[in-house]
Chains A and B, each alone.
Chain A
């Protein structure tokens, strides 16, 4: 079953483009990555899911139901972590979380305590007094306390220190194992790479590519470093080689094509070291943005 189904979704703010003709689907139980630079349309897409804004054309369905028509019903099972931190003037953390919980027809007090414990969040402090990172934690707990079936994360990790980030990722993995679908928007590719099954790349309001993380890495480029005393870099300039460069006696390049060809080429040369690696998502990503 598709938890999210987006069909030619378009949003213009007056004349300014938010997104244009975005279509994709997220399967139940997936951790779906949504990457793109700032201003590419990530938040616009998410805000359309929650009917915070209304589409110019096209539609988005969540749990098979139209986002606008069945908004309140759908949102019962969505947990949303906004990218911006927020607070109500003068409110304590626990008050805000209880307020958040009061919108759902279940007792969330135990879950609040658990989540606060995991995220090391002091419930008695005033939200105004919290640091940016701690406010972010309030947002996380607030988004997860009702055990949603769909978790929507908009740049969730900015401001979190690495230790808490790891706990947060573990938490999201646990929720996913429990059966929650996760929609993970980010411009940090490393974290998407670690977390997600599939990833959609968005640029200038349009989806460029949707791929399995593994195929994205496998089918594309290899990063190759060849080291040796008298290497002629021109020899490696064959079809499928890009970004060929020489640095301190090492030749580096990306290669896409028949790996045997390359192996033969390397074996003909006198080399001291060879490295063949999967490129990181960052590097693949750079390719899409060139």
Chain B
């Protein structure tokens, strides 16, 4: 558990910053909603004027922005991007940071097995992500209720959205970890995680625009499409299972790769 504790201490600052950022994002969106809610009908009209492809690209088709849940669904897409970036950052840096900072020679020379190291690190990252997740839960529940302004909404659907976050985080965390172990060296964690997250987001946008189901399979943004969840009041289960499969493959693959990895030196 010493590695877990150490890793958690190292990451706590980043967890706090990400949590505050996401909470602020939700606050801003819900404040905007409260400001425009009275003229929401106009907003929906304006949206209807826009080219449908554009709306599809942003996953905004069929969203009723006049309802608090519809608007929260719009916010949720951005929450997902933030959450994905944070998780991918942790995933990509999880093991690679030891090699870039040359601490791998310190850590791996200790009397401890590599699977143990990876387990502790993974658990620590999951703890951090769960804290951010909890912050999203609390701010979302509080702010949606506050800004609903007496407007009724389906709490079950909101909970479905929030429940999806944990799996969503795990996908980006574990896929990031796997990729970091597949490449020789991760020189810039941010570059890798931006590429992964925005790559997936763009795939999801293109998929919607082109109506191409094949692309949907790859991108977690489609597996947990807020639009789908809100309009159906349920998950797209086969898609969710694809995400779960991603997680399992990434975890198993990472353990195998890490235990066989030749640790790089700085040169």
Beyond the given pairs A84-B265, A142-B106, 9 more chain A to chain B contacts, judged by CB atoms under 8 angstroms and listed by A's residue number, are A47-B105, A54-B262, A71-B113, A75-B112, A80-B109, A82-B106, A86-B101, A87-B103, A104-B111
B2:A54 contact, CB within 8 angstroms: no
* Shortest Cβ gap from A38 to chain B (Å): 10
Q: Tally inter-chain residue pairs, CB-CB below 8 A.
A: 67
Residues of A within 8 A of B (CB): 13, 43, 47, 50-54, 71-76, 78, 80, 82, 84-90, 99-100, 102-104, 142
What's the least CB distance linking A105 to chain B, in Å?
9
* A–B pairs, 29, beta carbons within 8 Å: A43-B265, A47-B105, A50-B108, A52-B104, A52-B263, A53-B263, A54-B262, A71-B113, A72-B113, A73-B111, A75-B109, A75-B112, A76-B111, A80-B105, A80-B109, A82-B102, A84-B102, A84-B105, A84-B265, A85-B102, A86-B105, A88-B10, A88-B101, A89-B10, A89-B101, A100-B106, A103-B110, A103-B112, A142-B106
Interface size on B, residues (CB 8 A): 20
Point out the residues of chain B lying under 8 angstroms from A142, CB to CB: 106
B266 interface residue per 8 A CB criterion: yes
Asked if B260 CB lies within 8 Å of chain A CBs, one says: yes
- Contact across chains for A72 and B103 when beta carbons are under 8 A apart: no
**Complex Cα spacing A54 to B266, Å:** 17
Minimum distance in angstroms from A223 CB to a CB of chain B: 36
B2 touches A53 (CB 8 A): no
State whether A86 and B102 are in contact (beta carbons under 8 Å apart), knowing that A72-B113, A75-B110, A80-B109 are contacts in the complex: yes
Are A88 and B262 in touch, CB under 8 angstroms? no
Q: Interface SS of chain A: helix, strand, loop or mixed?
A: loop
CA distance in complex: A285, B111 (Å):
36
Across the interface, which residues of A come within 8 angstroms of B104, CB to CB?
Answer: 52
Q: Is B2 in contact with A103, judged by CB distance below 8 angstroms?
A: yes
Q: A13-B262, A75-B111, A100-B110 are in contact. Are A52 and B105 (CB under 8 A)?
A: yes
CB distance from B226 to the nearest CB of A (A): 35
Tell me how far the C-beta of A46 lies from the nearest C-beta in chain B, rounded to whole angstroms: 10
Bound CA–CA A44/B113 (angstroms): 20
Contacting pair A99 B111 (CB below 8 A): no
